[in-house]
Structure 1
Amino acid sequence: MKKNKLRILPSLGNRLLTTFNIALFAVSLFVNNNVVAQKKSVSPKFTNFVYTGEDQIYKNQPLKSDEFYTPILQGCYPDPSITRKGDDYYLVTSSFAMFPGVPIFHSTDLVNWKQIGHVLDRTSQLKVATSGISAGIYAPAITYNKNNETFYMITTQITAGMGNMVVKTKDPMKGWSDPYSLKFQGIDPSLFFDEDGKGYVVHNDAPDQGKELYSGHRVIKIWEYDVEKDQVIAGTAKIIVDGGIDLSKNPIWIEAPHIYKKNGLYYLMCAEGGTGDNHSEVIFVSDNVKGPYIPAANNPILSQRHLPNGRRDKVDWAGHADLVEGPKGQYYGVFLGVRPNEKDRMNIGRETFILPVDWSGKFPVFENGLLPLAAKLKMPKGVVNKTGTDGFFPNGNFTFTDDFTSSKLDYRWIGLRGPREDFIKTAKKGLEIKPFNTNIKEIKATSTLFYRQQHNIFSATVTMSYKPNSENDFAGITCLQSETFNYVFGITKKGKNNYLVLERTERGKSKIIASQEINVGKPIKLQVSAKGDNYSFSYAEDDGEFKNLGGVVSGDILSTNVAGGFTGTLIGLYATSGNDIKP
């Protein structure tokens, strides 16, 4: 096709050129003004963060020299999976839209755990930039393949069209590969490698089309896995569990499957009942990896659903487990559970617990897994409890402090939907947060550094230096269950004056609880504390006494009971140049 040439008369060309220059000048002025505006945006500095947990159960039950506490990972560390290579144990948990994703822990004794990083620590692996907080990464499963001396982490990434995926490494201490996309639907995949080198994937899926019998009806499928191509083998899918241990009783949400081999038999362990009040762990057996799988007569092998609701020091929702052979042939199981507050609300989120497992008979059984779960366990012989020292993860009641002067940020600090490095800078004077033009109510990456709430009774305090330049500027702390359920407590500007503001957001609707004019000439201490369902936000000026703002407020919106979703409360150090709070 012949193209028409544009022919411009000289006079018209001059006018167009003049118009173009004017437009170019206007664009340049606009860009320069914006650059100036960006330069004027203020970055708050945070120092001296102190988190202290004081749950009564740990005061009432101090440890003896041969005991340790469970949960071993307090706070939002759900859906644990564990594997072993020699004397090294590795454990991972779900992370949803948190960035980096899939925290990974290492232990040599199953008592003392040290976080060694995150499996998904870069944007080529984790694509949650536009993900709701409870989407993202679901139920990672970690497996060591002795046949090729490789670790695998398989998971479902509910975002950006990622779906089911696997990453791998020879050494979990040295990072993981980019994802291999897997061609199957469903969630909660897990890998099993047999002695002959063959690999298999098991996962939760919907029943075949037209065969769904009731709401919550799910199946467990198995695929052969091509170890060379890191892909399931087309045409090998087979349903090995339909519904659960007894389809006639309409069981719901059979999921989180794992296959183990012992004494020549294949064991399939799954969660059943959904991750709530009806949660449980069940076991099946077969003499063939592809089944048929027969349920044990004594199922469930772990659950708290049958116990009285008002029991003391309640742990609930136990399930979603994984097994590992520990020292001297003693098996252990890690699983999720919750520790509700006095109003039976789950603000902390689902945590990682551990129990010894008796596998002296045909089927494994969690020791005391059907009794009210205790806070303390006996340590394996010869183990010394080092938790909370030398970099080992603390549990029970503890204090965590951070002055942000280290060049390497503690792994417990996380971002949401994007890398922390995009908005933070640590130095001798503390942590500086470069504010994004987004706020925590948006499903976007936010300039917020989060620490998990790990106790029902706690306080978190930080010192902040900040002088907002406009009403668009805001910095302070937040308690966040999701983008639509949260508290925000901090400083913004109105006219020529600065204000300290407490805002509550419920179901996406925000309300200012209290505000007052504040002097920003000196650093201010901000604090959130909770006694169960009662939360308080306070401040202190010039190292004076703390003063409450807004009275005692309900933690209801920080619970999964009210907010829904799968996460626990996150305590954030927050800054934005897209503030919408108007005192």
Structure 2
Amino acid sequence: MSYINPVLPGTNPDPSVCRVGSTFYLATSSFEYFPGVPLYRSDDLVSWEQIGHCFNRESQLDLSDTDTSGGIYAPTLRYHDGTFYLVTTDVGGQGNVLLTAADPAGEWSEPTQLDVPGFDPDLFFDGDTAYLSYAHGPTLAETTIKQATVNPDTGDVGEPSELWRGIEGTFAEAPHLYRVDGTYYLLTAEGGTHLNHMVVAARSDDPTGPFEACPTNPILSHRGHPMQSIKATGHGDLVDAPDGTWWLVFLGIRQQGGHPGWHQLGRETFLAPVEWVDGWPVVNGGELITPRMTVDSLPGDGSAPDRAAPARATLATFDDETLDVAFEHRRNPDESAYSLTEPPGSLTLRGRTESLGDSGATFVGRRQAHFDCRIDTRFTFDPAEGAEAGLALVADERHHYEIGVTRIDGTTVAIVRLRIGDATETVVETPVDGPEHSVRVDATAEEYRLSYLQGDKDYPEAVGTASSKYLSTEVTGNFTGVYIGPYATTGEDATSPASFDYFTYEPTADE
């Protein structure tokens, strides 16, 4: 049988997985987006359902002063004696923290701060002792893995010691500890988080080391394979299935456009089988990871010959009391700027003085998870002078495209605006009629087509195109991929609300 990689497309980096019975749970990094740390559930490691977020209250996570690509890094998700544990780093904020939950789909605790420096914490239970491992060093290139005991009830941390320096002596991060058949195994990410990324394994008779390196390290890497469509593979986490098989979840990217290429979907979650050979984990038989993976079986119901992740369309009509779980804000939202009840059945945005170039913009979006997709929305908006609303594609404050409606010198116009670094250009400015508006984005791997529509009236002049390259990590230098969703701005607070009737995101091709 076969399955399709990535199993979690779109921005879902640094995956961490655990199993409870026959059910798998997975968490990924969320950086400056709120709610933070999306949580997924699966019975087969391929088809994942999002069940919520670990950080969904401002008391847990204040991102208001967080820089782009700051915020939440590299969670580790574990289950022990009836409790789910999550340790992660709030970069630039609380530092390393620990949260707990009885039900991962329910409410998580307030964070307990862990008094250790560094990032990428791991939590490992061994009998009555819990170990906290993490990456720390004088510079990012000089990080090594440190370890200390931790009391998961209080957050008290013991005296740290060095656990692992890395096989190359640089960029050792993302530690995960396991006990398999009486032997302790350490997995780390090394080589940096881009094209030299890799997963490294070591083992010991004691969780505190010393650890010997796997003779075939790295156990996973696509470094040195520039023609592969999947690159930057690394940051892995092991899990065993009820049938005794082992698997590795890890991040990777899908670059487009040849050399040097670009990726606008962010770092995604991939899956590979693992075998144990001579006491060492071997990933995918030592072969490279491919978009279509052939395996003997998958966990869960093994009757299906092929398995692929769901299309993950979003068809939001805003009839519920809360937004679809796929939607996230850039940093904590100002609740006064968003409403699902005024009027009911709509998402109403009240623009503030902040534009999409500011950290506090009124914007809510979902990950772009497919190169080929269509996104459209209809909204009611009678703008005051200078007010604006529509649909935006956002990589960060300095890299975004939008198709929107505004009023200029007393005339309502549709616009397409492109912001690429220091350059901003309005490439479309066309007068339109009435307060009812529809806008659409058609995406391919190479470009975005942004269109204004209105009933049966054709607006061929209200169409703009832009290259996807300029919203990619290779251009922005940041960690997240593109998010797509409604936005609103205004020259005055709380004027000219825009009410969105629906939002649809649908893949338009198999990938």
Structure 2 counterpart of 1:108, one-letter code: D
Q: Using the TM superposition, give the Cα deviation of residue 156 of structure 1 relative to its aligned residue in structure 2, in angstroms.
A: 0.6
Distance 1:186 1:470, change over 3 A: same
Describe the SS at the equivalent of 1:547: coil
1:269 match: 187
Distance 1:382 1:260, change over 3 A: closer
Identify which of 339, 348, 357 aligns with 1:441.
357
The answer to whether structure 1 residue 297 and structure 2 residue 219 are counterparts is: no
1:114-149 residue CA offsets vs partner (Å, 9 max, x unmatched): 211100000111110121231100001111123xx2
1:104 match: 39
2:167 match: 245
The answer to whether structure 1 residue 328 and structure 2 residue 263 are counterparts is: no
Distance 1:397 1:108, change over 3 A: closer
Distance 1:546 1:399, change over 3 A: farther
Structure 1 counterpart of 2:167, one-letter code: I
2:227 match: 310
Describe the SS at the equivalent of 1:302: coil
What 5-or-longer segments of structure 1 have no aligned partner?
1-65, 387-392
**Range with greater deviation from structure 2 (499-508 or 74-83):** 499-508
What 5-or-longer segments of structure 2 have no aligned partner?
493-511
Identify which of 468, 489, 495 aligns with 1:576.
489
Identify which of 4, 13, 16 aligns with 1:81.
16
Structure 2 counterpart of 1:404, one-letter code: F
Report matched runs for 1:492-507 at 5 Å: 492-507=406-421
**Distance in 2 between the 1:83 and 1:329 partners?**
14
1:7 match: none
Q: Using the TM superposition, give the Cα deviation of residue 426 of structure 1 relative to its aligned residue in structure 2, in angstroms.
A: 2.7
2:116 match: 184
Identify which of 219, 227, 236 aligns with 2:152.
227
Contact 1:127 1:159 in 2 (8 A): no
1:200 match: 131
Q: Using the TM superposition, give the Cα deviation of residue 398 of structure 1 relative to its aligned residue in structure 2, in angstroms.
A: 6.2
Distance 1:561 1:399, change over 3 A: same
2:84 match: 151
Distance 1:438 1:382, change over 3 A: closer
1:466 match: 381
Describe the SS at the equivalent of 2:280: coil
**Distance in 1 between the 2:177 and 2:424 partners?**
47
Distance 1:259 1:175, change over 3 A: same
Contact 2:134 2:174 in 1 (8 A): yes
Structure 2 counterpart of 1:442, one-letter code: D
**Distance in 2 between the 1:482 and 1:132 partners?**
10
Describe the SS at the equivalent of 1:561: helix
Describe the SS at the equivalent of 1:486: strand
1:164 match: 96
Describe the SS at the equivalent of 1:173: coil
Describe the SS at the equivalent of 1:202: strand
The answer to whether structure 1 residue 430 and structure 2 residue 346 are counterparts is: yes
Contact 1:68 1:385 in 2 (8 A): no
Identify which of 463, 467, 474 aligns with 1:561.
474
Q: Using the TM superposition, give the Cα deviation of residue 359 of structure 1 relative to its aligned residue in structure 2, in angstroms.
A: 2.0
Identify which of 195, 201, 213 aligns with 1:283.
201
Describe the SS at the equivalent of 2:318: coil
The answer to whether structure 1 residue 483 and structure 2 residue 401 are counterparts is: no
CA RMSD of aligned residues (A): 2.3
Describe the SS at the equivalent of 1:562: helix
**Distance in 1 between the 2:314 and 2:348 partners?**
20
1:150-191 residue CA offsets vs partner (Å, 9 max, x unmatched): 21110110133x111111122212211101111111110010
**Distance in 2 between the 1:423 and 1:152 partners?**
33
1:294-353 residue CA offsets vs partner (Å, 9 max, x unmatched): 11000111111122x234xx1111111101111211111111111122342110111111
1:371 match: 288
Structure 2 counterpart of 1:269, one-letter code: L
Describe the SS at the equivalent of 2:248: strand
Structure 2 counterpart of 1:571, one-letter code: I
Describe the SS at the equivalent of 2:279: coil
What is the aligned residue count? 486
Give TM-score scaled by structure 1 length. 0.79
**Distance in 2 between the 1:449 and 1:277 partners?**
31
Structure 1 counterpart of 2:393, one-letter code: C
The answer to whether structure 1 residue 516 and structure 2 residue 430 are counterparts is: yes
Report matched runs for 1:29-68 at 5 Å: 66-68=1-3
2:69 match: 134
2:509 match: none
**Distance in 1 between the 2:179 and 2:311 partners?**
38
Describe the SS at the equivalent of 2:351: coil
2:366 match: 451
Contact 1:203 1:221 in 2 (8 A): yes
Distance 1:548 1:118, change over 3 A: farther
Q: Higher relative CO (CA 8 A, sep ≥ 6), structure 1 or 2? A: 1
1:190-235 residue CA offsets vs partner (Å, 9 max, x unmatched): 10010x210111111005xxxx7xx7122000111123422212xx
**Distance in 1 between the 2:491 and 2:283 partners?**
50
Q: Using the TM superposition, give the Cα deviation of residue 67 of structure 1 relative to its aligned residue in structure 2, in angstroms.
A: 3.5
**Range with greater deviation from structure 2 (545-554 or 284-293):** 545-554
Distance 1:548 1:293, change over 3 A: farther
Greater per-residue helix proportion: 1
Give TM-score scaled by structure 2 length. 0.90
**Distance in 1 between the 2:28 and 2:300 partners?**
27
**Range with greater deviation from structure 2 (487-496 or 473-482):** 487-496
Percent identical across equivalent pairs? Answer: 33
Structure 2 counterpart of 1:145, one-letter code: H
Is the radius of gyration larger for structure 1 or structure 2?
A: 1
Q: Using the TM superposition, give the Cα deviation of residue 85 of structure 1 relative to its aligned residue in structure 2, in angstroms.
A: 2.0
